[in-house]
Amino acid sequence: MSNAHPVPPESVAAIDEYIKNLRSKGRLARSTLNAYLSDLLALNERLERTGVHLLNATEQDIEKDRDARLRKSRPASVARALTSARGFFNSLVRQGIITKSPLKFVRQPEVRRYHVSPRLLTQGELEDILNASDLSESIGKRNNLLLRLIATTDIRSSVVVALTLSDIGLNTGNGPTLKRMDGDSTVVIEWSLLRDIREYVKTERSEILIDKEPGYLFPSGPRDCLSRQMLWRVLQDCAKKAGIRRRVTAHTLRRSYLAHYSQQMNLR
């Protein structure tokens, strides 16, 4: 007689519905959604092996699973998986499927983080990176706008790559805006950047799309948005063209811009 517990279809269906809902909002990159899906399916499988139904899991079940994983996996990986599960169960509570999230009082594992301030770029280096893309090409114009948006706002990279056309806002009194991840609040951007984005939407963006319309502001092709990995490669390529050999991150770009902003940099 097998000791394996069949996975109840309603558990998988609930996970699929949650991921589908996140995908419909268009705020997360495909790689992020895939990571959430993988974490939730893995949790479901582990619980089922102990005879626990995912939708009936208790705080004690989650803590037991967390402690078992910590004996085999890095704290950062366990913490990420718990974050995925927390979002899933909170969604079930909002829908009235369960009355309380089993993760409400579950503590995240301690993750050691070494906060080392990035080595700032000089004003010349920053300008060289932002101007490294070939603006005569549609991909180059897209990359230029991507890096300028990251440098001049506090929008996370994963959100920037998933922005849609509907996220381009109008003047709110303080300046032009883009919607944030939650779809309610906004962030003010420079007028010159908005002007260039609108021009790009009318011209270069259509050249990248060919004959498809995914709705993303920065498409990687006719069907999808850029991934964070693609954005990383764009940044490294531009840094290399600018003659910078050290590691440059989106955080470096943003911090460097803020450090020089008071000098009224003229970034085209």
pLDDT at 171: 43
With 70 as the cut, is the pLDDT of residue 51 above it? yes
Q: What's the pLDDT at 172?
A: 44
Averaged pLDDT, 145-167: 85
**Looking at per-residue confidence, does 28 or 35 come out higher?**
35
User: Is the confidence at residue 48, as pLDDT, over 50?
Assistant: yes
Q: Which residues contact 197 (CB under 8 A, 6 or more apart)?
A: 145, 168, 217
Q: How far apart are CA 220 and CA 49, in angstroms?
A: 40
How far apart CA 70 and CA 38 sit, in angstroms, is 18
The pLDDT assigned to 267 comes to 46
Per-residue pLDDT of 106-133, as tens digits, reads: 999 987 765 556 688 999 999 999 999 9
Q: Which domains does the chain have, with CATH numbers?
A: 9-95 (1.10.150.130), 123-261 (1.10.443.10)
pLDDT single digits (tens) 178-210: 655 444 456 777 888 888 988 898 888 888 876
φ and ψ at residue 245, rounded to 5 degrees: -95, -20
Task: Please list the residues that pair with 219 across neighbouring strands.
Answer: 225
Q: Given this model, what pLDDT does residue 202 score?
A: 85
Hey, what are 231's tokens? 């954005």
Rounded mean pLDDT of 235-239? 94
pLDDT at 4 > cutoff 50: no
Task: Find all residues with CB under 8 Å of 41, minimum gap 6, and list them.
Answer: 12, 15
Higher-confidence residue: 37 or 175?
37
Beta-carbon count within 10 A of 15 CB: 19
Between 169 and 40, the higher pLDDT residue: 40
Is the per-residue pLDDT at 245 higher than 70?
yes
Q: Where residue 86 falls among pLDDT bands split at 50, 70, 90?
A: very high
pLDDT of residue 182: 42
What value does the mean pLDDT of the chain take? 82
Q: Hey, is 186 helix, strand or coil?
A: strand
Cα–Cα distance list, 221 to 111, 214, 232 (Å): 37, 9, 17
With bands split at pLDDT 50, 70 and 90, how would you rate the model's confidence at 174?
Answer: very low
Inform me whether the pLDDT recorded for 156 exceeds 50. Answer: yes
pTM for the predicted model, two decimal places:
0.57
* Per-residue pLDDT at 255 exceeds 60: yes
pLDDT category at 2 given cuts 50, 70, 90 is very low
Q: Of the spans 1-5, 26-30, 60-64, 202-206, which averages the highest pLDDT?
A: 60-64
At 228 the pLDDT is 82
Residue 215 pLDDT level (bands cut at 50, 70, 90): confident
Read off the DSSP letter of residue 167.
G
